[in-house]
Amino acid sequence: MSDEQAIRRSIAAALRRQLGQGNTRPVIDESLVNAVPEGGTLEVPAGALVTPLAQSTALMRRVKLVTTTDTYTHMDGNTVAIGADHGGFAMKEMLKTELQGKYTVIDCGTNSTESVDYPDFALAVAEQVASGRAWRGIMIDGAGIGSCMVANKVPGVRAALCYDYASAVNSREHNDANVLTLGAGLIGNALAKQIAETWLKTAFGGGRHGKRIDKILAIEQKYGK
């Protein structure tokens, strides 16, 4: 049996074990990614759940995650998760209206100006991104600081608090941020729209920035175990 066949059998066996434990979706975890040679390709069954640590490991080891027909949904550039606490509710609704028609929008709440806790909604947005269900995430609270802290606790998330055009561009070009946080009490709607539009359209610069992102992921893996 070739090494490649052994790897494929090992992956298949692991998926069968996971499915046998009552899961309705196969799960790709970091052990399956680590079983693939660095720079290789891992076929992901349609509908499979790829854990955040598996995503980070794949990036670090340059393992390409693909379905039988297309790239894994984590790379889909159309779905945006958006959330807010009570202080950011009005701005969330405004941005949601702006985004709809251009993107598929997942609204993670809140749904009114009644007082709530921002960590709950920042976590919901971050988990959408980390799981691959959303390509990017936007979270709004009063200052944007607390939500940024929360989102960055979720493996696979690189959240950035942006407050102007330059910070929006930099967070994407240099840091490959995948969650944007905004402070509704610090910026107005016009600036928020400019920041969100710029941030969503700006590509990661790669090059020298790529090795720095690799180091961020290595730190995340070291302390996330």
Distances (CA, A) of 202 to 81, 100, 119, 137, 199: 17, 19, 27, 14, 5
**Of the candidates 69, 74, 80, the residue with the CA atom closest to the CA atom of residue 33:** 74
For residue 87, give the DSSP letter.
Answer: G
The whole-number pLDDT of residue 17 equals: 53
How far is it between the farthest Cα atoms of the chain?
63
State how many domains the chain has: 2
Amino acid making up residue 106:
I
Give the pair of three-digit tokens for residue 111.
Answer: 């749904």
Q: With beta carbons less than 8 A apart as the criterion, state whether 55 and 156 touch.
A: yes
Percent of the chain whose pLDDT exceeds 90: 58
Q: What is the pLDDT of residues 41-67, one digit of tens each?
A: 887 765 667 777 777 788 888 887 775
Are residues 17 and 32 both part of a single domain?
A: yes
Are residues 81 and 190 both part of a single domain?
A: yes
Confidence tier at 89 by pLDDT (50, 70, 90): very high
Choice among 15-29, 55-69, 116-130, 179-193 with the minimum mean pLDDT? 15-29
Sequence-ordered list of residues with C-beta below 8 angstroms from that of 40, at least 6 positions apart, any chain: 63, 64
Q: Has 74 been annotated as catalytic?
A: no
Are residues 43 and 89 both part of a single domain?
A: no
Read off the pLDDT of each residue in 134-162 and give the average, rounded to a whole number.
97
Say whether 148 sits in a helix, a strand or coil. helix
Q: What is the pLDDT of residues 12-36, one digit of tens each?
A: 555 445 444 444 456 788 888 888 8
Are residues 148 and 108 both part of a single domain?
A: yes
Confirm whether 11 is domain-assigned.
yes
Confidence tier at 4 by pLDDT (50, 70, 90): low
Q: With beta carbons less than 8 A apart as the criterion, state whether 140 and 147 touch.
A: yes
Q: Can you give the C-alpha Rg of the chain in angstroms? A: 18
Are residues 20 and 56 both part of a single domain?
A: yes
How far is 22 from 205, CA to CA, in rounded Å? 42
Are residues 65 and 101 both part of a single domain?
A: no
How far is 26 from 31, CA to CA, in rounded Å? 14
**Which residue in the list 74, 86, 174, 209 is annotated as catalytic?**
174
Are residues 66 and 107 both part of a single domain?
A: no
Q: What is the extent of the structural domain holding 109?
A: 76-201
